[in-house]
Amino acid sequence: MFTEELKAFKRLGFRHVLLQVLNFASVIASGLMIWKGLGIVTNSESPIVVVLSGSMEPAFYRGDLLFLTNPQNERYQTGDITVYKIPGADIPIVHRVLETHDVTPKTKKSKKAAETSSAVSTLPHQRLLTKGDNNYVDDIELYQGLEWLERKHIVGKVRGFLPYVGYVTIAMNDFPQLKYALLGSLGLLALIQRE
Amino acid sequence: MHSIFSRVNNISAFLSSCMMTLLAAIALSSFLFTANPQGDLAISSIKVVSSNARRYPNKKQDLAFVHFNITADLTPLFHWNTKQLFLYLEAEYANKKGVKNEVVIWDRIVRRKEDAFIKFEGKNKYVFRDISSSFNGVPPANYVLKYNIMPYVGLLQYGEAARTAEAVAFPATQSRL
């Protein structure tokens, strides 16, 4: 089965293989660049997330894709849907803001500190409480001992929605064989293609 | 050149680009619907009761009980790209220390156009408490009915459907209901 492919390899030579490897690497690199570029534009560490739980049903189901932004100088309001990550918990959570409390940050006496942090201090510190639309109670139990959610825990605000597409990643997580099969076949195709 | 693989590849690429264009068109079309329905919101009574705090049984915490009436016809918000409407009533106030607060006290998910005529009379669904644990001396609060249109595909949109004409004051704390 592979004899023909091997013959083709021999005919095309080592340089061709190298070229294909280079192509493959450039595809991966540009993907990474787009992802990180989006992260810079939206100011969010992961601007696209996949819904993993059913706590926002019937709006968001498992496998739906969400697009996030996290503008630095914009406060969060009730009704906004946030994605947050509590330190110690490995899965980010998508829930709606139920309460906001804008606590004015403690002003420092020294002028230097005020000057350097002027951009930050114009925005009040917010304490948030969230709740999943499909849950009966708010999220205090999920905060792992924290009383309120703060800005630093938040990955972003949900802006856009695309159904079902993210299910591929869930399927790949549930069935690792699928992931390896997909990666393997993609790699093989990239090496073999003769166009 | 005309192997099965390349044919499958071409067809799936074409189909997926058609699909993306269609989805983008649907997502953009929801900006053409700019309905802005207005409803009525009235606060009928507020009571503030001292109670035990949620996590600290020995600490006292003021809870507010708000009774209200909502009448709003939100049917214009339902168009072909509306999956559901998330409707919520929030209280906006600044407490003694100048802390701005927004607290959702009631919400409802509306999934069908037939259910979008809202006529509701009742009290808050969620615990309404202040971050300083007392409503004593807190300035009057505004109550606002807001909505979030959640699409089948595209961007989430927000709006305001009703607002109390003037701020409603918190009464003095009572020890029991």
Tell me whether residue A80 is one of the annotated catalytic residues.
Answer: no
Q: So where are chain A's domains?
A: 8-42, 48-103+123-163
pLDDT at B75 (0 to 100): 94
CB-CB under 8 Å, B158 with A79? yes
- Domain co-membership, B92 together with B15: no
pLDDT at A68 (0 to 100): 94
Using DSSP, state whether A27 is helix, strand or coil: helix
- Indicate which CATH number applies to the domain containing B87: 2.60.40
- Domain co-membership, B95 together with B55: yes
B15 CB within 8 Å of a chain A CB: no
Angle CA A71–A73–A76, to nearest 5: 70
pLDDT at B95 (0 to 100): 82
CB-CB under 8 Å, B101 with A58? no
For B10-51, what is each residue's pLDDT tens digit? 999 999 999 999 999 999 999 999 889 999 999 999 999 998
Both tokens assigned to A150 = 């703060």
A162 to chain B: closest CA residue: B153
Reply yes or no on domain A48-103+123-163 having CATH 3.10.129.10.
Answer: no
pLDDT higher than 60, residue A114: no
- Domain co-membership, B56 together with B23: no
- Domain co-membership, B16 together with B40: no
CB-CB under 8 Å, A158 with B148? no
- Domain co-membership, B39 together with B66: yes
- Mean pLDDT over A58-63 rounds to 91
B106 to chain A: closest CA residue: A98
Tell how strand B40-52 and strand B173-174 pair up.
Answer: parallel
B87 to chain A: closest CA residue: A79
Domain total of chain B: 2
CB-CB under 8 Å, A79 with B126? no
B84 CB within 8 Å of a chain A CB: yes
- Domain co-membership, B72 together with B58: yes
Containing structural domain, residue B5: 1-32
- Domain co-membership, B80 together with B136: yes
**Location of structure tokens 């079309």:** B29
Q: Tally Cβ neighbours within 10 Å of residue A183.
A: 11
pLDDT at A108 (0 to 100): 52
- Domain co-membership, B83 together with B99: yes
Provide the ipTM: 0.87
pLDDT at A161 (0 to 100): 93
Global pTM exceeds 0.80: yes
- Domain co-membership, B56 together with B11: no
In whole angstroms, give the CA distance from residue B78 to residue B116.
8
Both tokens assigned to A146 = 């924290």
Q: Which of the listed ranges A125-134, A186-195, B91-100 does the model predict with the highest average pLDDT? A: A125-134
- Domain co-membership, B42 together with B77: yes
- Domain co-membership, B8 together with B61: no
Please count the residue pairs, one from chain A and one from chain B, whose beta carbons lie less than 8 angstroms apart: 74
For A117-144, what is each residue's pLDDT tens digit? 444 555 678 999 999 999 998 898 889 8
The DSSP secondary structure of B5-23, one letter per residue, reads: HHHHHHHHHHHHHHHHHHH
pLDDT higher than 70, residue A112: no
Q: Which of A55, A90, A101, A174 is catalytic?
A: A55
- Domain co-membership, B17 together with B89: no
pLDDT higher than 80, residue B176: no
pLDDT at B1 (0 to 100): 61
Contact list, B55 vs chain A (CB under 8 Å): 140
Nearest-by-Cβ selection for A158 from B54, B102, B156: B156
pLDDT at A111 (0 to 100): 47
- A10 pLDDT band, cuts 50/70/90, is confident
